[in-house]
């Protein structure tokens, strides 16, 4: 199939492009390279450098490529940054999705797999999180993704769009070639590994007074390769609607830190810091629907596997892609 893939220079988009190409699909990457890395774009893909905030370039690229489906990864994805500057998130994430869907409809392309997030739920009262829980985001990042989902549902109802919403939990891990490189890095595992590499003195744990077993936030860490696989299954099975992508098991910040100490064999000093605004205490998925409908099962998402893959990548790329 021909896949038009936005955000192919980013973390999850680059891993998914590589998997699509490995499986014989044809990929056009549309990306403004603002936050991603040209080096992460698979050389087998056709790269169009363009900004989704503008209507014309994406409309022209979709029209010229005539894809069978669109995978939409390109977005800002940092909770803290979105709390500091909400409008930046709505402008980038919502405008980008609107222009992309308009471009699709104008060219008669119906199928889209959208990178959504567990942040669209906010902090639900019950765990594990199923897809039918109310969506009440606690930060503008989650709100911006929810707005995209809602927009696409209307486009489905009124214009025949065929959307899948993959609601990722915490993407992490790496492949041999591709890993996580954000500037500034805000994510837990790369920040811990930076300390293990001696590139930072200590890692800050944001809050140890949450109502969780050890007081630190609980998240559901899912290997980027497992996420990529779910996209292909959603495409092959033509599965529309929402799917949570997580392991079904939560892991606290302190547990992640312990796993990193064990895998790296390094001490990794840590200090307790204030809570980060917008962080819910505990989020983990029910992966039942994805398993039942997509036949998806995380294979590389044991925390030890995630950390060892990430550690391999960061050791080989101590300065990320840029070096």
Binding site for ligand UDP (CB under 6 A): 79, 170, 186-188, 191, 203-206, 217, 219, 253, 276, 279
User: Least Å distance between CB 6 and ligand UDP?
Assistant: 20
User: Least Å distance between CB 202 and ligand UDP?
Assistant: 10
User: Least Å distance between CB 289 and ligand UDP?
Assistant: 21
Q: Is the peptide bond before 184 cis (omega within 30 degrees of 0)?
A: yes
User: Least Å distance between CB 174 and ligand UDP?
Assistant: 14
Identify the burial level of 67 via C-beta atoms within 10 angstroms of its C-beta, where 0-12 means exposed, 13-18 middle and 19 or more buried.
buried
What CA–CA distance (Å, rounded) separates 115 from 290? 15
Q: Is 171 left (phi over 0), alpha (psi -120 to 50) or beta?
A: beta
Task: Give 50 or 215: the residue with its C-beta nearer to ligand UDP.
Answer: 215
The verdict on whether 76 is a catalytic residue reads: no
Which whole-number Å values give the CA distances from 241 to 115, 148, 156, 167, in the listed order?
A: 12, 13, 10, 10
Q: Which helix (H) or strand (E) holds 168?
A: strand 162-168
Number of Cα atoms under 13 Å in the Cβ half of residue 224? 25
The answer to whether residues 8 and 45 touch, using CB atoms and an 8 Å cutoff, is: yes
Task: Give 178 or 205: the residue with its C-beta nearer to ligand UDP.
Answer: 205
SS3 242: strand
Position closest to ligand UDP via CB:
217
Q: Which helix (H) or strand (E) holds 192?
A: helix 188-196
User: Least Å distance between CB 58 and ligand UDP?
Assistant: 27
Task: Give 222 or 294: the residue with its C-beta nearer to ligand UDP.
Answer: 222
What CA–CA distance (Å, rounded) separates 264 from 200? 15
Identify the burial level of 225 via C-beta atoms within 10 angstroms of its C-beta, where 0-12 means exposed, 13-18 middle and 19 or more buried.
buried
Task: Give 111 or 219: the residue with its C-beta nearer to ligand UDP.
Answer: 219
Catalytic-role residue among 11, 141, 210, 284: 141
What CA–CA distance (Å, rounded) separates 225 from 223? 5
Query: Which token pair is 193?
Result: 């590994």
Task: Give 130 or 191: the residue with its C-beta nearer to ligand UDP.
Answer: 191
Rounded to the nearest 5°, which phi and psi values hold at 298? -60, 130
Task: Give 203 or 263: the residue with its C-beta nearer to ligand UDP.
Answer: 203
User: Least Å distance between CB 265 and ligand UDP?
Assistant: 21
Q: Which helix (H) or strand (E) holds 46?
A: strand 46-49
- Helices 253-264 and 303-316: angle between axes, nearest 10 degrees: 60
- Provide the annotated active-site residues: 141
């Amino acid at each position: 199939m021909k896949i038009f893939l936005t955000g192919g220079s980013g973390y999850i988009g680059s891993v998914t492009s590589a998997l699509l190409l490995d499986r014989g699909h044809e990929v056009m990457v549309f990306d403004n390279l603002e936050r991603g890395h040209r080096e992460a774009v698979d050389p087998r893909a056709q790269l169009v450098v363009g900004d989704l905030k503008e209507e014309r370039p994406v409309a022209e690229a979709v029209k010229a490529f005539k894809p069978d489906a669109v995978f939409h990864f390109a977005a800002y994805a940092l909770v803290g940054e979105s709390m500091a500057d909400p409008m930046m998130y709505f402008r980038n994430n919502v405008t980008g999705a609107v222009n992309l869907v308009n471009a699709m409809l104008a060219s008669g392309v119906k199928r889209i797999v959208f990178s959504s997030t567990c942040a669209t739920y906010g902090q639900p009262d019950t765990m594990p999180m199923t897809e039918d829980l109310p969506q009440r985001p606690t930060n503008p990042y989650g709100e911006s993704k929810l707005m995209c989902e809602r927009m696409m549902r209307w486009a489905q109802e009124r214009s025949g769009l065929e959307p899948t919403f993959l609601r990722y939990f915490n993407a992490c891990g790496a492949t041999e070639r591709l890993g996580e490189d954000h500037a500034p890095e805000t994510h837990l595992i790369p920040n811990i590994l930076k300390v293990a590499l001696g590139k930072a003195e200590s890692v800050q744990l944001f809050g140890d007074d949450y109502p969780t077993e050890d007081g630190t936030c609980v998240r559901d860490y899912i290997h980027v390769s497992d996420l990529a696989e779910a996209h292909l299954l959603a495409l092959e099975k033509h599965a529309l609607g929402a799917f949570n992508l997580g392991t079904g098991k939560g892991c606290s910040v302190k547990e992640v830190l312990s796993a990193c100490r064990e895998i790296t064999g390094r001490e990794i000093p840590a200090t307790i810091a204030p809570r980060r605004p917008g962080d819910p205490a505990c989020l983990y998925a029910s992966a039942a629907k994805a398993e039942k409908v997509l036949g998806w099962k995380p294979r590389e998402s044991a925390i030890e596997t995630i950390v060892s893959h990430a550690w391999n990548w960061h050791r080989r790329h101590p300065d990320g892609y840029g070096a």
